[in-house]
A and B are shown apart, each in its own frame.
Chain A
């Protein structure tokens, strides 16, 4: 399972979901779904987010060990 700290990064930058969505060219629903772990973004979108926040991808997204 993939987790992320997009919400935290967004709070640090003081931007809304709508602002982030328009900055990287996706819909607001997409940001909401990523933040709530309902959608795993493609590599391209992850790299766009990484470039936008100026942080490596693995600081924004990481794997969470699932109990067997």
Chain B
């Protein structure tokens, strides 16, 4: 069924998985290189930032925004459900944490709530939300595949 979609073709998802896996592949060579003082340099830091931050972020983005092998309306409904859950999660976490921060500031005169803001950011930043979306969406796909495996 030709469902109109604004997602990237499926091949970008494979590229996304490779980019997402890059840090896991590079962690051992990086540890070996960084322990060697002669190799420690600004260049290595830039490469490390690229490999351990930028590539996985780009990978997660590509996985989220590319089609499944057979993208149909049911798959899109699963996408919509996962996206809705993530939006609700982000809304609740932001609302609760913001209220809590304001309450703490008022009640115990907590002036510096930088640490709390950092924790809140860690659980509501875009890559983290994208990972939650992926877990929910891919999880529902896997559950469906297992359920339909033995049905004729």
Interface residues of A (CB under 8 A from B): 16-17, 24-30, 32-34, 39, 41-42, 44-45, 48
Residues from chain B with Cβ under 8 Å of A32 in the complex: 144, 147-148, 151
In the complex, chain B residues 61-98 whose Cβ is within 8 Å of any chain A Cβ: 70, 72-75, 77
CB distance from A55 to the nearest CB of B (A): 19
Residues from chain A with Cβ under 8 Å of B151 in the complex: 17, 32
Residues from chain A with Cβ under 8 Å of B152 in the complex: 16-17
CB distance from A21 to the nearest CB of B (A): 9
19 example contacts (A-B, Cβ-Cβ < 8 A) are as follows A17-B148, A24-B1, A25-B2, A25-B72, A26-B1, A26-B74, A27-B70, A29-B74, A29-B141, A29-B145, A32-B144, A32-B147, A33-B74, A33-B144, A34-B74, A39-B74, A42-B73, A45-B1, A45-B73
Residues from chain A with Cβ under 8 Å of B147 in the complex: 32
- Residue count of chain B within 8 Å CB distance of chain A: 15
- Judged by DSSP, the binding face of A is helix
Residues from chain B with Cβ under 8 Å of A33 in the complex: 74, 144
CB distance from A6 to the nearest CB of B (A): 12
A30 nearest in chain B by CB position? B74
Please tell me which one of the listed residues B2, B72, B145 contacts residue A30 in the complex, with CB atoms under 8 A apart: B72
- B1, B2, B75, B145 — most chain A CB neighbours (10 Å): B1
Bound Cα distance from A45 to B77, whole angstroms: 14
Residues from chain B with Cβ under 8 Å of A44 in the complex: 1
In contact, A26 and B70 (Cβ under 8 angstroms): yes
Bound Cα distance from A29 to B76, whole angstroms: 12
B77 nearest in chain A by CB position? A39
CB distance from B151 to the nearest CB of A (A): 6
Residues from chain B with Cβ under 8 Å of A17 in the complex: 148, 151-152
Residues from chain A with Cβ under 8 Å of B74 in the complex: 26-27, 29-30, 33-34, 39
Bound Cα distance from A47 to B144, whole angstroms: 24
New A-B contacts (17) at CB < 8 Å, excluding given A17-B151, A29-B74, A30-B73? A17-B152, A25-B1, A26-B70, A26-B73, A27-B72, A27-B75, A29-B141, A29-B144, A29-B148, A30-B72, A32-B148, A32-B151, A33-B144, A34-B74, A39-B74, A44-B1, A45-B73
